[in-house]
């Protein structure tokens, strides 16, 4: 069984992502609605993968990405945003994200998740 932490300030988006993820029967999910909660949940749960929104209150997704990678340099974090500019994508990947998906389409999200879960 794998665990995925879904971090997004929108309840609707968290629900939408969860619906996509739970098509894979070997995954359980947890949720956080802001950056501070995400860091606390990450420390508590140590999930296999994090889906992290870029724009959030409290702390930006980029700041959360950086802090989680300080906790665990091997953390697997997929960034998400409705904007998805090339600058934003490059910024996240250079900071240590394993991938970037654009909301609300979440193109290839299931495949990206499966590629980044431990084997």
| CATH of residue 75 | 3.40.50.2300
In this prediction the pTM is: 0.94
- Average pLDDT rounded to a whole number, residues 109-117: 91
| Whole-number Å distance between alpha carbons of 86 and 75 | 23
Q: Are 81 and 110 in contact (CB under 8 A)?
A: no
| Whole-number Å distance between alpha carbons of 118 and 95 | 21
In a domain, 36, yes or no: yes
In a domain, 11, yes or no: yes
| pLDDT above 90: residue 94 | yes
In a domain, 32, yes or no: yes
Q: What total of structural domains would you count in the chain?
A: 1
In a domain, 74, yes or no: yes
In a domain, 29, yes or no: yes
pLDDT range class, residue 24, cuts 50, 70, 90: confident
- Average pLDDT rounded to a whole number, residues 37-46: 97
| pLDDT above 90: residue 106 | no
In a domain, 33, yes or no: yes
- Hunting for tokens 């240590």 — which residue is that? 96
Give CA angle at 24 (19, 27), nearest 5°.
Answer: 90
pLDDT range class, residue 72, cuts 50, 70, 90: very high
In a domain, 97, yes or no: no
Q: Is 77 helix (H, G, I), strand (E, B) or coil?
A: strand
Residue 8: per-residue pLDDT: 96
The whole domain housing 38 covers 1-47+61-80
């Amino acid at each position: 069984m794998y665990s995925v932490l879904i971090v997004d300030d929108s309840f609707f988006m968290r629900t939408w992502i969860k619906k996509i993820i739970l098509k894979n029967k070997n995954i359980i999910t947890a949720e956080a609605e802001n950056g501070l909660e995400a860091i606390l949940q990450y420390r508590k749960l140590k999930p296999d993968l994090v889906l992290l929104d870029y724009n959030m209150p409290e702390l930006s997704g980029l700041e959360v990405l950086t802090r989680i990678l300080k906790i665990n340099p091997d953390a697997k974090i997929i960034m998400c945003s409705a904007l998805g500019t090339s600058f934003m994508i490059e910024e996240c990947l250079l900071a240590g994200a394993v991938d970037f998906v654009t909301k609300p389409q979440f193109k290839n999200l299931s495949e990206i998740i499966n590629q980044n879960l431990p084997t």
